[in-house]
Chain A
């Protein structure tokens, strides 16, 4: 099993209130499997994604990537895991504005020390960014920026790809194009995909769906 989450709970304190976002969530994802995580706003989808990606740690429960619990790992160890094995595509793209498109695509792979020039060039070409490589993110449209973010995520050939509403900021046509490319390339890398979405039609294109409601898998 690529990902195994058991009894994961997470509570946030906001002002004087405590908010239990996740209440004992269990989740499995096999290698190369694609899974859509759906649910209403505030149901805990993004929180679960962040915990799985090692961006945050759960209050209780375990999250195993290929059999190793990442919840108990140090900050540096989780950072290493994010660099090499996990790719995250954010809704807000989160590109580095001062790097060119080419440098943005290669960035994570360079961090991981695994930059494969041919693979990166292929990604650029497949994502339709050949003519944009020397440009800066601010010179691109939203759809193009998200394609750069996808390229950056897949350049490292991660075992697990996490995507948080990757087309949430795009119009319908752009979203369709971007998702087509995204799923095609994820398939080529044979990575497991955990995708958070509100879109039922998008969720239906994935292997499996899990619905989260008020912090519990339903």
Chain B
């Protein structure tokens, strides 16, 4: 039975539980629902949850755990002699999986598998015809492993379906049997909701932990293949896929920081001043259309900004500034990417700062105006200092956003890793290099690809550091000012 069908059956059972639980509750109270502890729907919901939740949990856990157990057992069937020189367990296992999948397809078409599994060349031909490409004829133990894999998969699926259905029916029965007027179904469903909420937040937390763990693990792997000293202290970035590359991180970090700095130099003054205008000077009517208009900037896909950088801003800067000033003749430059990225992050600064400036108590403004200060003196000397922690938070959020940006850099700043002070030269950033190291047909074992994880971890550390700094500043000043 397929997982989809199983899901449908469990959902049907839950729906039945919903209706039956409700009806049973009404019946048990003799039609007078005031005698029930909870509203009838809560009894129905309780039965439905008991039918669906344990069964679905089982299916999810089973589907996650099944490949690990089964593949370990299939792997043990492969004789070590059948693992070719220069290959590894994992590569052979992927063959096993493909053969198993191919055999499933053939079986579905009604082919007779018995003669094929003993005849490797015929099997290869049949599989190739079915669209499963094999490089060489599979060894007998590999075919045996594939067959075992298929057998175990189908048994496991059968058991899972059975257990899940039993669980669903049992849960339904138990849930219905507990329906009595004095049963507190409302409280019981309440705790179900709490566990659901806990589960959802756990998903987010565990994903973060998982991503960081995999970054750390792969980075450690990278440093076993490539000396950490060269990664952190070399100033050249020159990956060679034939080996012997130099993977110094500094040109990339420099490019990232340079582009982000230009972006912030553009975005912070513009964003902050428009926020001050919106919060302090604009009438309600103006504000109601200007603010959404600025926020639209945040909704433009970065690739569109990239196009804008590549086609308009880059050539403009080159023709009007870089070439006349003799600073270079490349249309992709740090300046191009920085300017366009600055425009992109304006709404992050302005929208957040606007909210924060609005949150400054009116009493402070009144106090200042009441002393005969002008509105702009009030803004500079009272409102902005009071809003400073929040504004710093907004700026650092914009900085994190700028550091992580990829598309605008690819299209605006180019892909040449360089350490240079000239803002009209092409440079590149960490994110762009992660993309370029991972695209293309490469195996995941060389330092040239694994370096992506080290770069990712560096970037993550950088933005994490910024976020921590933001939190620290916000906390420190909040205590002082509120």
**Do A and B actually bind?**
no
Interface of B toward A, CB cutoff 8 Å: none
A residues within 8 Å of B by Cβ?
none
